[in-house]
Structure 1
């Protein structure tokens, strides 16, 4: 069946609603005074621009005229309504002495201008603004050319917006504005034709509207009802339900006939033309249907009163104005936060924090449950072992890594060699010092034989007794250290095979491997592994999803600022809380679904892992791993023991020499001569007395006084030189101490039979340098 041509005309007459008129009112001064009194003069100054803007918008609305642009008028009304919402939440306007009590809003009726209403509350102001917004939208709708498709679309959008404004007025503002019956009836109008017809046919609207409005609504209601009957009859004809088709057509014709009888002579010609065309189509269809029924169907036509109501479906819906009039983002007077709003925000924040904390704990518990469950099943370690990627327990792996960073067992040999070198150097020092003592004793005996009683210096054994005792202790310490060194070497040699496992890089290569069973009954091993790996991937996906959900929770909380909505809310805070907190329901449900899915998946993984463990003999593999772990632990323990012993040895050798010489740093200063040039044993000293000569007197050599307790001899200065007083220099090592002691002795005696050595530099394992000896006059030997 072809689509029938509509009987409605594109040029149907539409009615526009005119705006309500108002009386001038001053908002600036009362609101500013309230800010000064309840906040501060400074706050009032900061809000000066907002007060001026509000004042300017109200003045523009008061001066409305036909010359104003309808779109700009619409925008002004919308912006002013949002500003009023911000004012409502911050400024209590009423007759109360503590409120803004010097503001009275007055508005005239749109249809009966002589009627007016005055109230000391902002609800009348908001209701009037909503009415005017709907009126402006209806006026905008009439400006479009409805003979074109685009014009009809634009006009429809405007009329839908008008309906939305009036619906918002009906559901939100009109009841609040009706306080004490001080309001006009125009703020309660609906726009569906049948509802409008029923409304304006009864008091108080029956005498309120012009007769042309009543005629227009009656004709429109009849036209739309008959159109619905016409459309329904076409569908009934297709289904061959002829009897009901005839009844529907008769009902539509009757509605049109009654409407034409009741309408006055001044009805719009376009509406009457549409009614006549539709009536013609209905009568033609009725004639055809009755003929078919009389000749073919012979069905009884039911009375119209017995028919069910026509199925109703709204072709358009009023525009939802909640978003258009949402003042939650309004910045006007934003700095004024009443105490009630601050407390409400605190309570809401606690509610949100409780949700976030509870859900975060669920997510963390879910992740921890997955981790513990996998650890108990040795997953995914056993899968990795099957693929040749065995892993160590974390703590053990960290210990192995620390050993390898410090050089590992292979590096112990180098440290042991440092120990040997230090031991050798100390033994060499011991031997050299003993030789020096022997030479000194021999030379003392030679001078005693040469000079006889004139050689009054104490015996060499007496002067060097303390040094000899210290040297003996030094020798004993070196012997004990040598024994310890030998034990370290033997321990390292005996345990090198055990410790060699620590040299593996990576260490995991030393672990046992897990392989397929030698014999397979059904060759199903790959399928078992594949199923288990797929389940583990699904578990990992759930874990990543939880991480994303946790981030979403934090982001939602960060963005959840309902203070603007609290400030503009005119209803119960609890209702707003329920609405706002409901936005967390979806993510809470997703978290619950994630945890349920993980619980079920873990049960599947446990069953799959039991099959995997039985197929691949995991228990034997685990036992082999435990044995290997113990071997690694024993190797680490032995390595640490040997390394600690070596470090103690190195520390001993480095600190032995300063410890041996520390007692000599306490002696007081004593007088030293200027050092002679370097010389070797057997070379005649230019300052020493020759065979048979007397010791020189002043003018040749000058006797000095000993500054050394127990020193009985004297020493010589070079001819013409004055003796110098020097503090005893610090000794950095045992060898330097011995060299200095012998230099002191020979300088005092003026002997030439003493050899000074140029000592080589030596760097210890700890970087300690043992430099060559420097004489008191600064020359190096």
Structure 2
């Protein structure tokens, strides 16, 4: 199998430029407070420059830590040729496959891409370090290879395009190259699965599907190696190795599939499959120069097995079956089944929980946080209004149907609802209807006094205006005082507003007086104590509906209990919303996000979707219950 060597870099001091930037744009005190973080970054970069590391696992851990540190640096420290940016830092990296080629960029994208590339390379080296003669060794190798595929895929999706912008780039971190390396790592992981399959003695059908998928992964890698920009970039031994592996595992699939066909006595397709495998191996051996002896030995052994079974199948067909052998080109594709997939690296490389440089919050992140908080507040406000409206709707609709008061009365409970009883007691404490009459009389007296004050004030202002006009006519230009209309404008405006308010109050008083007169007979019962003695009782013949009365009342009670349950749920949902907002600390993710804030906002806001759906279901359930209660 193939391991990838790390990219090499030149020495670089990140400590001094970063510290100078903090001191200049924040403060010297801030730079002193962040000294430990700056020293950590310096140590990471220094350790990265030393190759090779005697421990692949410690090298892997270093690369992961350094990548997270780069994510934090990217959002806080602008590195570019601009005058007000950190313009004294130039990252230089050699191509991993053509080391004489190098790239240099004054931005962090090349540094991040190279770090991810080296992480994938180290994982591939770890995969090769295990003893694949044992089950445990193969299991660990599979994990390492799919992790390597994950690192290359993460590089392709998150950093390769940015690192390739500009004139100074290398092919090894291009989208095409890291995509090819991902398929190669998956091929080697699937190959380990195939070795496990053979070791366990799985059925020929299973072995055929597993081996065919190995071949497909190698074929995908080979296709990328044969076109620009990878063509002629890799050593010929690499291309020969991948080509031989693709042929080997296609032939393996033919061999194992033919065994399954032999069991089914499908001799014609068995011969065709074996011929296809044999011809593929024969063709591949023509370009096997420089291939590993172990690989050539595996091809020779498989070729011998295929030819032996082919001879046997041909003889059996000539003597017994006499079936026409189809051309391999007319055969359907061999079945394949993948047992591996690229390991997701998002969580492993997530820097949002890192505390490095936490005290530095750029203005863009602060603004993004403010916008996100506004979006969350809008959700909370909208959903809280829905919950409040739902509770208010229930109260009003039940009141329109005299529920639950009518059921309580039917059961002999003649007490008033608590809210109404408190209102009645408040009126009785204020001397009932007599007290209200006294209040109305006092209101009329106050209205009359206000009207008099209004008239007096208007007269005073008019008198002052008349005197001013007389003096102005008498003394002419000698009368230098400003005009009365100018001096009294604010007073006149306030007087007009007062007059309008007083007119509105008079109209309101009239409506209240009219209402009191119209309901004088009803209001007379407010003098009765206790108030229940003056109320008509709701007894059985009044409520007799039909023979099913008890069932109807029972159904109403059940529905009302369900409404109470929904009401309690609404209170709990509102508390859950507030708790979610309290725990929603999105600033670390904003600080480490190198992509669009909009994408991050959509992902984070989606957390509130389930509880919003619960609220919608609660409101809908309440509406259905209210309709059911209305029918009952």
Aligned partners of 1:21 and 1:108 also within 8 Å = yes
Q: Secondary structure at the match of 1:179?
A: coil
Aligned partners of 2:240 and 2:288 also within 8 Å = yes
Unaligned runs of 5+ residues in structure 1 are: 1-13, 406-497, 609-781
How many Å apart are 1:184 and its aligned residue? 2.0
What is aligned with 2:513? none
What is aligned with 1:31? 18
How many Å apart are 1:262 and its aligned residue? 2.6
1:588 equivalent among 577, 589, 612: 612
1:568 equivalent among 592, 595, 598: 592
What is aligned with 1:197? 222
After superposition, residues 459-538 of structure 1 pair within 5 angstroms as 512=537, 524-538=548-562
Unaligned runs of 5+ residues in structure 2 are: 184-217, 430-526
What is aligned with 1:182? 168
Is residue 371 from structure 1 mapped to residue 358 from structure 2 by the alignment?
no
Quote the Cα distance in structure 2 between the aligned partners of 1:281 and 1:536: 78
CA RMSD of aligned residues (A): 3.6
After superposition, residues 280-429 of structure 1 pair within 5 angstroms as 280=305, 284=309, 288=313, 291=316, 298=323, 301-387=325-411, 389=413, 391-398=415-422
**Cα displacement string for residues 686-739 of structure 1 (whole angstroms, at most 9, x for unaligned residues):** xxxxxxxxxxxxxxxxxxxxxxxxxxxxxxxxxxxxxxxxxxxxxxxxxxxxxx
What is aligned with 1:64? 51
Aligned partners of 2:566 and 2:622 also within 8 Å = yes
CA 1:145/1:500 → structure 2, altered by over 3 Å: closer, same or farther? same
Quote the Cα distance in structure 2 between the aligned partners of 1:207 and 1:344: 46
Quote the Cα distance in structure 2 between the aligned partners of 1:290 and 1:382: 96
What is aligned with 1:688? none
Find the structure with the greater CA-based Rg: 1
Is residue 578 from structure 1 mapped to residue 602 from structure 2 by the alignment?
yes
**Cα displacement string for residues 474-501 of structure 1 (whole angstroms, at most 9, x for unaligned residues):** xxxxxxxxxxxxxxxxxxxxxxxx9785
**Cα displacement string for residues 60-109 of structure 1 (whole angstroms, at most 9, x for unaligned residues):** 11123342x22221111111101101111111111111110000111122
**Cα displacement string for residues 96-147 of structure 1 (whole angstroms, at most 9, x for unaligned residues):** 1111000011112222322222111111110110011111111112222222
What is the TM-score with the length of structure 1 in the denominator?
A: 0.57
2:60 equivalent among 59, 70, 74: 74
How many Å apart are 1:153 and its aligned residue? 1.5
Aligned partners of 1:252 and 1:282 also within 8 Å = no
After superposition, residues 630-779 of structure 1 pair within 5 angstroms as none
CA 1:116/1:242 → structure 2, altered by over 3 Å: closer, same or farther? same
**Cα displacement string for residues 424-476 of structure 1 (whole angstroms, at most 9, x for unaligned residues):** xxxxxxxxxxxxxxxxxxxxxxxxxxxxxxxxxxxxxxxxxxxxxxxxxxxxx
Is residue 93 from structure 1 mapped to residue 79 from structure 2 by the alignment?
yes
CA 1:388/1:320 → structure 2, altered by over 3 Å: closer, same or farther? farther
CA 1:295/1:358 → structure 2, altered by over 3 Å: closer, same or farther? farther
What is aligned with 2:158? 172
CA 1:207/1:546 → structure 2, altered by over 3 Å: closer, same or farther? same
Aligned partners of 1:215 and 1:267 also within 8 Å = no
What is aligned with 1:751? none
**Cα displacement string for residues 745-778 of structure 1 (whole angstroms, at most 9, x for unaligned residues):** xxxxxxxxxxxxxxxxxxxxxxxxxxxxxxxxxx
Greater share of residues in helix:
2
CA 1:535/1:278 → structure 2, altered by over 3 Å: closer, same or farther? farther
Aligned partners of 1:249 and 1:286 also within 8 Å = no
Quote the Cα distance in structure 2 between the aligned partners of 1:562 and 1:179: 30
What is aligned with 1:650? none
What is aligned with 1:628? none
What is aligned with 2:441? none
Aligned partners of 2:8 and 2:93 also within 8 Å = yes
Quote the Cα distance in structure 1 between the aligned partners of 2:300 and 2:406: 85
Aligned partners of 2:53 and 2:59 also within 8 Å = no
After superposition, residues 253-264 of structure 1 pair within 5 angstroms as 253-264=278-289
1:209 equivalent among 201, 224, 234: 234
What is aligned with 2:40? 53
CA 1:243/1:560 → structure 2, altered by over 3 Å: closer, same or farther? farther
Quote the Cα distance in structure 2 between the aligned partners of 1:532 and 1:547: 23
1:220 equivalent among 245, 259, 263: 245
Quote the Cα distance in structure 2 between the aligned partners of 1:17 and 1:278: 29
CA 1:288/1:566 → structure 2, altered by over 3 Å: closer, same or farther? same
Aligned partners of 1:243 and 1:293 also within 8 Å = no
Q: Secondary structure at the match of 1:262?
A: coil
Quote the Cα distance in structure 2 between the aligned partners of 1:158 and 1:606: 65
Quote the Cα distance in structure 1 between the aligned partners of 2:330 and 2:45: 56
Q: Secondary structure at the match of 2:298?
A: helix
Quote the Cα distance in structure 2 between the aligned partners of 1:241 and 1:363: 69
After superposition, residues 131-170 of structure 1 pair within 5 angstroms as 131-170=117-156
Quote the Cα distance in structure 1 between the aligned partners of 2:570 and 2:300: 64
How many Å apart are 1:289 and its aligned residue? 9.0
